[in-house]
Amino acid sequence: MPAEQLPLPELPSIDDPRLRLPDRVNPMQPTEVDAAFDHPDYFFEPWWPGVRAVASAERGRVRLQVAGLADAEAAFPELGELPDQLAEDGVALDGTLLVLDAEGRPDPELLRARLSGRQPHAGRAAYVAADLLWAAGEPITRRSFRIRRDWLEAILAPGDRITVGHGYPGDGTLVAEALARLGIEGLSARRLSARYRAGAAGDAWLRAPVSPAQPRPRPTLALILRLPLGEPQA
């Protein structure tokens, strides 16, 4: 049979007993703090200007959990390539969905257009993974964030749409200063020794405000991922 006539593989249904990942995850919710800080047991990265999403991949099937969005896979079909970038099956990621404009800049208006269904193909979807919740079909939320993060970087190959966000341990004020120059409004701080907690994070995950420079630049995703060394583009 010619290759173009080969039948497409059938994706498992949501009720397939071979699927081991949960249908829904109760995500960890960050604790607000007043300002950026330095601490050797915290990992600092941008607070991405997108929407929180849990992305899972198992047996070729991709599921997206986005608060308030019943059919996230239909709204962001480009993320169906996630299994191709993973070195393991049965994986669940915690991260942020973005929609980029033609120049690769995160665009909140294009994101809202996608989420509302007004412009289902607006912009270019991207996903920045920050944490690993399941791997090889098993939960790893009881492992420390340090282990989960290292594991995430080992199994998710970077791509044009889906990537692991960059961050730095210890130097929260330095990262915040770089974020301010890039027009980013928040700093994420995850405690390296903490487990993943459903619901309130306590001190396991903190969010600090950042005062962006004025006029506020709109850097590309690629530039933001080079923090804290990158400088904003004109």
Cis before residue 215, ω within 30 degrees of 0? yes
* pLDDT value of position 3: 39
207: tokens are 């969010």
* pLDDT value of position 149: 97
pLDDT, average across residues 147-165:
95
**Residues 170-210: pLDDT tens digits?**
999 999 999 999 999 999 999 999 999 999 999 999 999 99
197: tokens are 């907690």
pLDDT band at 121 (very low <50, low <70, confident <90, very high): confident
pLDDT, average across residues 108-113:
92
Q: How far apart are CA 34 and CA 46, in angstroms?
A: 16
Q: What CA–CA distances, in Å, run from 41 to 38, 47, 132?
A: 9, 18, 18
Cis before residue 77, ω within 30 degrees of 0? no
* pLDDT value of position 216: 85
Q: What percent of the chain has pLDDT over 70?
A: 89
CB 163 within 8 A of CB 130: no
**Residues 69-95: pLDDT tens digits?**
888 998 899 999 999 999 999 999 999
- DSSP assigned state of 143: S
CB 175 within 8 A of CB 188: no
Q: Burial level of 217, CB count in 10 A (0-12/13-18/19+)?
A: middle
How is the chain split into domains, by residue range? Answer: 28-224
Q: How far apart are CA 61 and CA 51, in angstroms?
A: 21
87: tokens are 């070195």
pLDDT, average across residues 135-158:
96
CB 175 within 8 A of CB 1: no
* Topology given in CATH for the domain delimited by 28-224: D-amino Acid Aminotransferase; Chain A, domain 1 (3.30.470)
CB 91 within 8 A of CB 117: no
29: tokens are 């919710």
Q: How far apart are CA 130 and CA 98, in angstroms?
A: 13
In a 3-state reduction of DSSP, which class is residue 146?
Answer: helix
* pLDDT value of position 19: 58
Residue keyed to tokens 């998710």: 156
